[in-house]
Amino acid sequence: LDTLDSTTHVADVVTAPVMTPLLTFAAARGCKVQTGPEMALAQMRLMGQFIGAIPQAQGAAA
């Protein structure tokens, strides 16, 4: 963890708490962070498109 800097992207799949100790530590070191809820929302949208519950944009590949 000592090598984390502003060029590092840190993600955590944990959804609660949103800012985990890892993400809090990384953000304090200037890292870009991605939270668990952000990833979960993206996955839900893509899964909804995959099963046909959410229409895909015209010309979008499955």
* pTM greater than 0.95: no
Average pLDDT score over residue span 11-21 = 97
Contacts of 50 (CB under 8 A, 6+ apart): 62
pLDDT tens-digit readout, 25-55: 999 999 999 999 999 998 998 999 999 998 8
Q: pLDDT confidence of 57, banded at 50, 70, 90?
A: confident
Domain boundaries, the chain: 9-49
HSE on the CB side for 19, CA within 13 Å?
Answer: 6
- Higher pLDDT pick, 26 / 62: 26
